[in-house]
Amino acid sequence: MRFSLASIFPALAAAAVMAAPLSAHAEDVSERRAITVTASGEVAAVPDQARISSGVTTEAETAAEALTANSAAMKKVIAGLKEAGIAPEDIQTSSFRVEPRYTRPRDGEAPRIDGYRVVNQVQVLARDLDRLGEVLDKLVSLGATDMGGLSFEVSEAETIRDEARKQAVANALRRAKLFAEAAGAEVGEVLRISEGGFEGPSPVPMARMMKAEAVPIERGTETLSASVTITWALK
């Protein structure tokens, strides 16, 4: 008596029959003609706020003395900023550290601790750029010893960047059509879209813009960019 594979394992046989067209379909998709283009778009916007990095550094023979002096000086700076119109939620501690201060060793000698240094820094969001110079002057007059940097921002950057995104898609489509036509094909349906990253404005060192008598500020413009990578099917 003979038995066939289908009579013993009918489900297995059916699966084997169905596997062939599925495999062929997967192969067709993987070999589908397509074109992938990466493009970018840019829009210019006028900044309407700025972030200031500032703080106080104090030194003393003991950590406790340095901390006490630093706390007193920092309280004065923060209180003065609030009096100048900076909202409490726009003042945020960005760095705080206590570290030993070492002597410069002579030949054959090991460095030794001769004091301590306390650093307390805050990031201040200035929403009124017309008063930005005043705020910077205020920081110096209040006793801030560290002026780390200044970066301009556009508060509605995400919304404004949408125009750059539209430009990026339009540029990508234009180039895709150009390449497809040169290759004797046509652009078909969109298969995949992914957005690339973008860079924000770089902080400007304070030393480049501060003068003894005043702080001149020019807000200029910020370039908001976006990039996309799009894959189209080719017809």
Give the model's pLDDT for residue 201.
53
81 and 120, same domain (yes or no): yes
Mean local confidence (pLDDT), 198-217: 50
223 and 127, same domain (yes or no): no
Question: Is 15 within the bounds of a domain?
Answer: no
191 and 212, same domain (yes or no): yes
**Domains identified in the chain, total number:** 2
Question: Is 2 within the bounds of a domain?
Answer: no
The answer to whether residue 218 scores a pLDDT higher than 60 is yes
The answer to whether residue 38 scores a pLDDT higher than 50 is yes
CA–CA separation, 13 vs 123, rounded Å? 70
Give the model's pLDDT for residue 71.
97
The answer to whether residue 199 scores a pLDDT higher than 60 is no
- Provide CB contacts within 8 A for 120, sequence distance 6+: 55, 56, 57, 70, 71, 74, 93, 95, 96
Question: Is 172 within the bounds of a domain?
Answer: yes
Q: Pick the residue with more confidence: 10 or 235?
A: 235
The answer to whether residue 206 scores a pLDDT higher than 50 is no
CA angle 37, 42, 48 (to 5 degrees): 150
| CATH code of the domain containing 173 | 3.30.110.170
| CATH code of the domain containing 88 | 3.30.70.2970
Give the model's pLDDT for residue 215.
61
Give the model's pLDDT for residue 198.
61
Domain end, chosen from 125, 153, 181, is at 153
145 and 62, same domain (yes or no): yes
Q: Pick the residue with more confidence: 13 or 177?
A: 177
Mean local confidence (pLDDT), 13-18: 38
Residue 16 confidence class, pLDDT cut points 50, 70, 90: very low
Mean local confidence (pLDDT), 1-24: 41
- Provide CB contacts within 8 A for 191, sequence distance 6+: 34, 231, 232, 233
Give the model's pLDDT for residue 86.
93
Question: Is 27 within the bounds of a domain?
Answer: no
- pLDDT, one tens digit per residue, over 94-135 is 999 999 999 887 777 888 899 999 999 999 999 998 888 889
Q: Pick the residue with more confidence: 174 or 221?
A: 174
- Domain ranges, residue 142: 49-104+114-153
